[in-house]
Amino acid sequence: MKIKVLKFGGSSLADAEQMKKVAAIVKNDRACRYVIPSAPGKRFSGDDKVTDLLYRCYELSCEEMDITGVFEVIKNRYRDIIKGLGMDFSLEDEFKKIEISILNHAGRDYVASRGEYLNGMILAHYLGYKFIDAAKGIYFFDNGTFDAERTNTRLSELLNKYDHAVIPGFYGSMPNGTIKTFSRGGSDITGAIVARAVGADIYENWTDVSGFLMADPRIVDNPKPIDTITYRELRELAYMGATVLHDESIFPVRHARIPINIRNTNDPAAKGTMIVSRVGEEKDDAVITGIAGKKGISIISIEKDMMNAELGFGRRVLQAIEDHGISFEHLPSGVDTLSVVLHTKALEGKRESVLAAIRKAVNPDVLNIEDGYALIAVVGRRMVAAKGTAQRIFRSVADADINIKMIDQGSSEMDIIIGVRECDYENAINAIYREFDR
């Protein structure tokens, strides 16, 4: 029998009505064996996500302030769901345990993880599936990175015992047993980990949009949906800001070649976007799969005569940056110039010290940091074979009277990344989209 792993995002589980839709989806297909829930998300704009409320409780507890009010809001979210589903089920004992743990200064990750934990308990009970605490099968190393192999072995053993199970998303455990979460949106990663562990035929990721669109609909009017995208393209787009799926959730399923299908809980008939390792013969001749980008970028510009002849120049610059715990995004260079493109946020509180370290390391003629840039990635697997794509991107941006500050092309020739001023960001994306939407 086919095995499907389904992950439902916070908006799909925000209240009892949404939960009922989820149950209908799961119960409609016998292949739906393992389900990964997020914590309840926003029910309407301006509403709070339970995870955010939990983080607030944690912060209040750190300041020895009263958590009762915020914790009551959290409890009521779950109580309303249970009541709306007409269940004979109570989480009151769990609430007590969690509240005591928070008051006893439980760790930040433990507190945040309870959103998924509690929602998982409700969903498991409602579906009649086994509840499996993710802490018992998803592991991290001491340094906080994910322990993929131990997890895979243990989780396969554990899940193979059950035909159906609910495993809460977002967290696992450290070698000493404490709870550790992935970064925000990390339930997507849990879903992919579970899909690998059970050898799923497909990983369905249910959210509130019918898949990926070619561009951000807040920027481009009615962008076309993407039917099929490769893992590699998706990784580029997700990393650059396309927010439908966590960018790290591709790794567990990619090697096992398990396709991911992005689906819409509010429109289950829509086929959504398929994410696959390879696309066969294609009739579609569109060069571009998608466009994504992000603001908040700074560029450190370095100039020095005869830089090209100075052995180790680039390494010393990067070392100075690494020594500040900062990673860089891109590294465009000329003969006597080098730019380091990075997140403005990463420089917070370290600006002067980074500049001083670079000055000391390479004694440049010119050194400065410019803020207020945005990066735009134009991604497409068919770009490798298509001639003139770069020219079309640059011409469309130039025709929109926008200056390009930086250009980079990945070695896979699957993406072209440009840097523009933040104020030109939206116009540049529209110009590129229009050029390729023909």
- Tell me which residues touch ligand ASP (CB under 6 A): 10, 38-39, 49, 51, 115, 169-170, 184-188
Residue 28 DSSP SS3: coil
Kindly state the smallest distance separating residue 181's Cβ from ligand ASP, in Å: 8
User: Toward ligand ASP, which CB reaches closer, 48 or 422?
Assistant: 48
Cα–Cα distance measured from residue 422 to residue 182, given in angstroms and rounded to the nearest whole number: 30
Q: Shortest gap between Cβ of 170 and ligand ASP (angstroms)?
A: 4
Which residue number, 114 or 392, has a Cβ lying nearer to ligand ASP? 114
* Count of helices and strands (H, E) across the chain: 13, 15
Q: Closest separation between CB of residue 10 and ligand ASP, Å?
A: 5
Cα separations (Å) of 21 from 24, 35, 266? Answer: 5, 14, 8
Q: Which is nearer to ligand ASP, 39 or 414 (CB)?
A: 39
Nearer to ligand ASP, 186 or 364 (CB): 186
Q: How far is the CB of 171 from ligand ASP (least distance, A)?
A: 9
Q: How far is the CB of 244 from ligand ASP (least distance, A)?
A: 12
Strands (E), 305-363: 337-343
Pure H helices in 264-329:
313-322
Yes or no: say if 8 and 39 are a contact pair by the CB < 8 Å rule: no
* Tokens, residue 214: 């070619």
Q: Which is nearer to ligand ASP, 112 or 258 (CB)?
A: 112
223 versus 272: smaller Cβ distance to ligand ASP: 272
Q: How far apart are CB 248 and ligand ASP at their closest, in Å?
A: 11
Distance CA 30, CA 222 (A): 35
Handedness of CA 145, 174, 110, 265 (dihedral sign): positive
* Least Å from the CB of residue 54 to ligand ASP: 9
Instruction: Please list, in sequence order, all residues whose beta carbon lies within 8 angstroms of the beta carbon of residue 185, skipping any fewer than 6 positions away.
Output: 243, 246
CA-CA distance, 194 to 121, in Å (whole number)?
A: 17
At residue 40, what is the residue type? Answer: P
Could you tell me if 380 and 233 are in contact, meaning their C-beta atoms sit under 8 angstroms apart? yes
Residue nearest to ligand ASP (CB): 187
Q: Tokens 């001639």 correspond to what residue?
A: 387
- In whole angstroms, the minimum distance from the beta carbon of 8 to ligand ASP comes to 10
- The secondary element (H helix, E strand) that includes residue 121 is helix 108-127
Residue 183 or 327 with smaller CB distance to ligand ASP: 183
> Which one-letter amino acid corresponds to residue 427?
N
Nearer to ligand ASP, 113 or 228 (CB): 113
Determine the Cα–Cα distance for residues 294 and 113; give it in Å rounded to an integer: 28
Q: Please state the closest distance from residue 137 (CB atom) to ligand ASP, in A.
A: 17
Q: Which is nearer to ligand ASP, 50 or 416 (CB)?
A: 50
Q: How many CB atoms lie within 10 A of CB 28?
A: 10
Place of tokens 């704009």: 45
Please state the closest distance from residue 204 (CB atom) to ligand ASP, in A.
Answer: 15
Structure tokens at 417: 């990344």
Residue 4 or residue 49: which is nearer to ligand ASP going by CB? 49
Encode burial over 74-95: b for 16+ CB neighbours within 10 A, e otherwise.
bbebbeebbeebeeeeebeeeb
